[in-house]
Amino acid sequence: MSADGFNAGLDMGRSWYAATAAPSPEDPTLAGEVSCDLVIVGAGCTGLAAALFAARQGRSVIVLEGGEVGWGASGRNGGQIIPGLRKGALELVQVLGVERARALFTLALEARHLVVDLVRELEIDCDLRLTGHLLGALKRSQMQDFEDEAACLDTIMNYRHVRILDRLEVRDAVATPEFVGGFVDEMGGHLHPLNYTLGLARACRAAGVQIFTGSPALSLESLGPKGAVVSTPGGRVRAEHAILAGDALLQGLSARVNRRIMPVANYIVATEPLKNPQALIAGDLAVTDSRFVVDYFRLTRDGRLLFGGGERYTPRSPPDIGAFVRPYLERTFPQLAGVPFDHAWGGMVSITLSRLPHIGRDGPVLFAHGYSGQGAILSSLAGKLLAEALDGNAAGLEQFEYVEPPAFPGGRLLSWPLHVLGMAWYALRDRL
Ligand SMILES: Cc1cc2nc3c(=O)[nH]c(=O)nc-3n(C[C@H](O)[C@H](O)[C@H](O)COP(=O)(O)OP(=O)(O)OC[C@H]3O[C@@H](n4cnc5c(N)ncnc54)[C@H](O)[C@@H]3O)c2cc1C
């Protein structure tokens, strides 16, 4: 795999995922003019799930990937399976009312079942662990929020897979002095996201999807009812429909999309294999803390701690990613002070103003992105919903169209500093 390609930035080549990736065939680069029913920009989970389900409907599908399959966010994330959306159930009810909130939440829950079913059906070897997800409270005042969220899940969402941990119970679960309580969702867990994504790509090829790598889409021309044309440096694809699935790395193809997502860099390390990893996290849980700028961590199958923490609101990578993440890791686990890191990398998370994904359509062009840090499984669901909409069943898509996130104020140039200011304020609040 190329180390300096379109989606190879922030040291993806040095990630634990790249080091443990399943073998994958080399796909061709697009050359010349071709036509098909559906052209998809982006070979992450959104694009590949859309491709798979569209191909199963009998459509001819081409996927254009600027870099390597899975080297975007889908193959380099924390691998945390967190059911639901980035906005909690209670907040959804407050913003949308009971009926809409319940419908949206229930739909989002399908993502977890979909991914588990795909892993089993397609026999994807991706270390899937359905061990639960723990959200750790840093302040006692957050425990009331946890109680309220659990009550909302129970009474409004009919979702009864969560339990609250007190100070002693959370210390048994995670060996950090930081947590004063916890909120466990038993339907959560974790997986190897790159191998999951490569597994989806394998299934796509088997279903007849043509994947072109090293083929960045440079322009998109919407022809209304006549379809769309996407051009790359070496060719053009004409199709009845196009799907934009480029998430944080997508630039320039659609003003509507670009105004609604903000890319924020986030960094991860993997320690060397630990002598007694279970002493850090019991029960192999995936763990997130309750900061606005979250720290998240879990164990790998070979006994490492995989820890994500810290965000930077500049496109420049820190000179030493490991050194950048270390204070966050050691704040959570002081007992690991000085532990060697074998891997350190980063990725671009795409955030929306409402923290709800942006999924919708514009004539022949459909799109899905902006999962706001919680897209490891939602992206597969979004891809499936887009394919269903093409097939005449837009019920799921419409749920998300109704909550289209607002554009960031001030256009791309002005919105960036405003957003940075806003995020920096929350980061400061975390610190205080
Ligand atoms: C560091 C990090 C940690 C995260 N941790 C978690 C987590 O633990 N749990 C969770 O739920 N979510 C997490 N997320 C979020 C999650 O990874 C994403 O929401 C999800 O993977 C998005 O999938 P996608 O397919 O839409 O985008 P991507 O996987 O980014 O795929 C988009 C693809 O499109 C390609 N592309 C873009 N523009 C073009 C173009 N013009 N032409 C051709 N190709 C193009 C890119 O190269 C890329 O391969 C994390 C994200 C990051 C970055």
CA of 43 to the centre of ligand 1 (A): 9
Contact 198, 70 (CB under 8 A): yes
Ligand 1 binding pocket includes 174 (Cβ within 6 Å): no
CA of 44 to the centre of ligand 1 (A): 6
Query: Where a domain ends, among 319, 351, 383?
Result: 351
User: Do 222 and 368 have their domain in common?
Assistant: yes
Counting residues of the chain whose pLDDT is more than 70, the rounded percentage is: 93
Is 388 domain-assigned? yes
pLDDT score of 423: 64
Residue 424 has pLDDT above 90, yes or no: no
User: Do 341 and 374 have their domain in common?
Assistant: no
pLDDT score of 292: 80
Is 62 domain-assigned? yes
CA of 74 to the centre of ligand 1 (A): 4
pLDDT score of 419: 60
pLDDT band at 249 (very low <50, low <70, confident <90, very high): very high
Ligand 1 binding pocket includes 7 (Cβ within 6 Å): yes
Structure tokens at 315: 């496109």
What range does the domain containing 306 cover?
Answer: 128-190+263-351
Q: What is the arithmetic mean of pLDDT over 371-375?
A: 96
Q: What is the arithmetic mean of pLDDT over 75-79?
A: 98
Is 398 domain-assigned? yes
Query: Where a domain ends, among 311, 330, 351?
Result: 351
Structure tokens at 135: 């959200």
Strand partners, 194: none
Residue 3 has pLDDT above 50, yes or no: no
Is 174 domain-assigned? yes
Report the nearest-CA residue for atom 48 of ligand 1.
Answer: 72
Question: Average pLDDT of the chain?
Answer: 94
Beta strands at 80-81 and 189-190: parallel, antiparallel or unpaired:
antiparallel
User: Do 182 and 287 have their domain in common?
Assistant: yes
Alpha-carbon torsion 170, 171, 175, 177, what sign?
positive
Q: Relative to the CA of 369, which ligand 1 atom is closest? A: 26
Structure tokens at 313: 């609101």
Residue 93 has pLDDT above 70, yes or no: yes
Q: Find, among 322, 298, 300, the residue nearest to 310 by Cα.
A: 322
Alpha-carbon torsion 50, 54, 55, 57, what sign?
positive
Q: What is the arithmetic mean of pLDDT over 169-195?
A: 98
Instruction: Provide the Cα torsion 183, 186, 191, 197; round to 10°.
Output: -100
Ligand 1 binding pocket includes 53 (Cβ within 6 Å): no
Counting residues of the chain whose pLDDT is more than 90, the rounded percentage is: 88
Q: What is the CATH number of the domain that holds 382?
A: 3.50.50.60
The rounded distance, in Å, linking the Cα atoms of 142 and 144 is 5
User: Do 68 and 23 have their domain in common?
Assistant: yes
Residue pLDDT, tens place only, 130-167: 999 999 999 999 999 999 999 999 999 999 999 999 99
Q: How many domains does the structure of the chain reveal?
A: 2
pLDDT score of 426: 60
Ligand 1 binding pocket includes 230 (Cβ within 6 Å): no
Is 273 domain-assigned? yes
User: Do 279 and 170 have their domain in common?
Assistant: yes
User: Do 201 and 344 have their domain in common?
Assistant: no
Is 407 domain-assigned? yes
Residues composing the chain: 432
Q: Relative to the CA of 253, which ligand 1 atom is closest? A: 41
pLDDT score of 2: 42
Ligand 1 pocket test, pick from 7, 52, 77 with the greatest ligand atom count within 8 Å of Cβ, gives: 77
pLDDT band at 415 (very low <50, low <70, confident <90, very high): low
Report the nearest-CA residue for atom 23 of ligand 1.
Answer: 74
Residue with tokens 């038993």: 186
Report the nearest-CA residue for atom 31 of ligand 1.
Answer: 44
Range scoring the smallest mean pLDDT among 258-262, 374-378, 413-417: 413-417
Instruction: Please tell me the number of Cα atoms within 13 Å of 328 on its side-chain side.
Output: 26
pLDDT score of 427: 61
Residue pLDDT, tens place only, 317-358: 899 999 999 999 999 999 999 999 999 999 999 999 999 999
Ligand 1 binding pocket includes 213 (Cβ within 6 Å): no
User: Do 177 and 317 have their domain in common?
Assistant: yes
User: Do 176 and 31 have their domain in common?
Assistant: no
Residue 417 has pLDDT above 80, yes or no: no
- In eight-state DSSP terms, residue 69 is T
User: Do 170 and 303 have their domain in common?
Assistant: yes
* DSSP secondary structure of 154-194: HHTT----EEEE-HHHHHHHB--SS-SEEEEETT-EE--HH
Is 342 domain-assigned? yes
Residue 305 has pLDDT above 80, yes or no: yes
Q: What is the CATH number of the domain that holds 343?
A: 3.30.9.10
Q: What is the arithmetic mean of pLDDT over 376-382?
A: 98
Q: Find, among 210, 216, 261, 268, the residue nearest to 239 by Cα.
A: 210
Ligand 1 binding pocket includes 212 (Cβ within 6 Å): no
User: Do 176 and 277 have their domain in common?
Assistant: yes
User: Do 317 and 367 have their domain in common?
Assistant: no
Ligand 1 binding pocket includes 108 (Cβ within 6 Å): no
Is 99 domain-assigned? no
pLDDT band at 408 (very low <50, low <70, confident <90, very high): confident
Contact 411, 262 (CB under 8 A): no
pLDDT band at 1 (very low <50, low <70, confident <90, very high): very low
Residue 373: how many CB atoms within 10 A of its CB? 23
Query: Where a domain ends, among 329, 351, 373?
Result: 351
Indicate the helix (H) or strand (E) that contains 137: strand 133-137
User: Do 418 and 377 have their domain in common?
Assistant: yes
- Within 317-410, where are the H helices? 321-332, 378-390, 395-401
Structure tokens at 89: 């159930």
